[in-house]
Amino acid sequence: MSYTVLARRYRSRTFDEVVGQGAAAQTLKNAIATDRVAHAYLFTGTRGVGKTTMARILAKALNCQAFDEPTTQPCCKCESCKAINEGEDMDVLEIDGASHTGVDHIRELRQNAIYRPARARFKIYIIDEVHMLSPSAFNALLKTLEEPPEHVKFIMATTEPNKVPATIQSRCQRFDFRNIRTEEIAAQLQKILAEEQMEAEEQLVRRVAHLANGSMRDGLSLLDQLLSMAEEKLTAGLLAELLGTPRSEHIVELAESIGQGDAGKVIRQVDAALEEGLASEVLAEALQEHFRDLMVMRNCGPDTELVETNESGLRQRMTEQAEMFDDATLVYNITVMEELRRSIRASGSGRALLEAALVRLTASERFSDTKVLLEQMQGYLSQGEGKDLSAGPRERPRQVSSRDYAAEGGGSRLSAAGAAKSTEKPQPAQESQESQESQESKGFLKPPQTLNQTYIREHWKEILSELSRRGMKHLEAYLQPAQPTEWNEGVLKLGFLGHDGMGLFGR
Ligand SMILES: [Zn+2]
């Protein structure tokens, strides 16, 4: 016996079975119940959300022979219903707009439409991908829509409603089919698996529903492939094998190495992943999603439903990992991964690009968090000749939430008022005096008691190299393109190349 794909076997047969399009189903039922069925409908929505399924249900409702008039509960057993289910009814004609773009097909349709239906109440034309019709075909269709015979109904479906002429749209009742929610797809998959008597890990079902991205058809076709591979139980490992996607643990480990700033480990892990046959782009995508999950967990709490993982062990690790990064770094990492995916697609030299991008991320924590950098700089300046703030170049900056950032003006100005509050108090004068002497003997800078603009301007280069000498090489690198533009009451404004200046730290 040949295998019928799930999407066909489990296609909804009645309005009440429809998944995820309850509003449209209810409105159509109301129209039938109150005898207000329109002459023409336009169903819009992305692929696999149930447009054709709904068109067939509507056709059955209008033509079911078990009733004397249109019904909201077609029997699905009469000759008409059965034929419509198969897409082979003589009165319900399905036309694929994509392969019948020419005007001749529509002319034929118009001539044919004059004749009454063979056995049912209505002659129904279901035109799929109607936006593909040629302009002359649309014109011919418009004439029929303007003066439709009483016994004719049109149901048109399209993924691109903006390509359907306004003149056509204005003569149709339009229904926008929404993308089906992940939970709705997951519930339907569970139901089907139960009927198929196949066991599946809950984690896998959620993952498949997520990958379906709003399309029931895509979800079912993925499930079809999994069923053809599985022997006893559907597992997340099977899905990883099918898609060539990395296992979640591997991604968590990779992200951990990035968080630790261990470039060597990152490169070795990338090598291992590529050895397993993973594509660079797939790895980049998985990492991007992972960073997104961490960002969501940081902001919505570790138990948020917006992150899809049901393995409690994994969630625990991700919760810990979310604390390793701050929001600014995660946002930065997500953007870098997006850029990376684009350049891998464009260049083909995926591996080098992937490694370069990930090494960049290992350093990102030191480069991306402007606020931490500014904080260090402020500490240095406000302490004058105080002690070193940074123990060494590898020291991890304190985590600061990017929520503290307050954007001003055109967005290129950052205020670090929050940083000001948290810095250490200047050293008492005596101690400061003491260290000044010892530092001076080592040839360090000796700023005046009260800092002023002229001093900062004149000594800018030295201030920068001083940072480097104190183990803040990354801060020096970051501030290299900047010039001090204003010093006012403890706030230093820096001008960066191409920017109008950057509000810096306070007292
Ligand atoms: Zn019927």
Q: How many Å lie between the centroid of ligand 1 and the Cα of residue 185?
A: 28
Nearest to 294 by CA among 340, 239, 331: 331
Give 456-504 pLDDT, tens digit per residue: 888 888 888 877 777 676 677 777 778 888 887 777 888 765 444 344 4
| CATH no. for 182-243 | 1.10.8.60
Q: Give just the sign of the alpha carbon dihedral 242, 245, 246, 249.
A: negative
pLDDT at 174 over 90: yes
Give 400-456 pLDDT, tens digit per residue: 333 333 333 333 333 333 333 334 444 444 444 444 444 444 456 677 777 788 888
Q: What is the pLDDT of residue 346?
A: 84
Q: How many Å lie between the centroid of ligand 1 and the Cα of residue 209?
A: 32
Q: What is the pLDDT of residue 31?
A: 96
**What separation in angstroms does the CA of 52 have from each of 7, 84, 159, 169?**
12, 11, 11, 18
Q: How far apart are CA 454 and CA 460, in angstroms?
A: 10
Q: How many Å lie between the centroid of ligand 1 and the Cα of residue 189?
A: 27
Q: What is the pLDDT of residue 471?
A: 66
Percentage with pLDDT > 90 across the chain: 47
pLDDT at 57 over 50: yes
CATH 3.40.50.300 is held by the domain 6-176: yes
Tokens standing for 232? 């006893």
Percentage with pLDDT > 70 across the chain: 80
Greatest mean pLDDT range, 99-108, 120-129, 395-404: 120-129
Helix (H, G, I), strand (E, B) or coil at 198: coil
Q: What is the pLDDT of residue 21?
A: 95
- Point out the least confidently predicted range of 244-258, 287-301, 325-339, 434-448: 434-448
Give 273-302 pLDDT, tens digit per residue: 888 777 888 889 889 999 999 999 999 998
pLDDT at 187 over 90: yes
Q: What is the pLDDT of residue 392?
A: 41
Beta carbons within 10 angstroms of residue 148's beta carbon:
15
Q: How many Å lie between the centroid of ligand 1 and the Cα of residue 83?
A: 10
Q: How many Å lie between the centroid of ligand 1 and the Cα of residue 318?
A: 53
- Point out the least confidently predicted range of 76-85, 216-225, 497-506: 497-506
**What CA dihedral angle connects 54, 60, 62 and 67, to 10 degrees?**
-140
Its CATH class, for the domain covering 248-367, is: mainly alpha
Domain residue spans of the chain = 6-176, 182-243, 248-367, 369-503
Q: What is the pLDDT of residue 239?
A: 84
Q: What is the pLDDT of residue 462?
A: 83
Q: How many Å lie between the centroid of ligand 1 and the Cα of residue 61?
A: 8
Beta carbons within 10 angstroms of residue 333's beta carbon:
28
Q: How far apart are CA 102 and CA 353, in angstroms?
A: 46
Q: How far apart are CA 356 and CA 353, in angstroms?
A: 5
Average pLDDT of the chain is 81
Q: How many Å lie between the centroid of ligand 1 and the Cα of residue 71?
A: 9
The two domains 182-243 and 248-367 share their CATH topology (first three levels equal): no
Q: How many Å lie between the centroid of ligand 1 and the Cα of residue 78?
A: 4
Q: What is the pLDDT of residue 170?
A: 95
Buried b (16+ CB within 10 A) or exposed e, 259-280: bebebebbbebbeebbeeebeb
Nearest to 123 by CA among 155, 147, 82, 97: 155
Q: How many Å lie between the centroid of ligand 1 and the Cα of residue 219?
A: 29
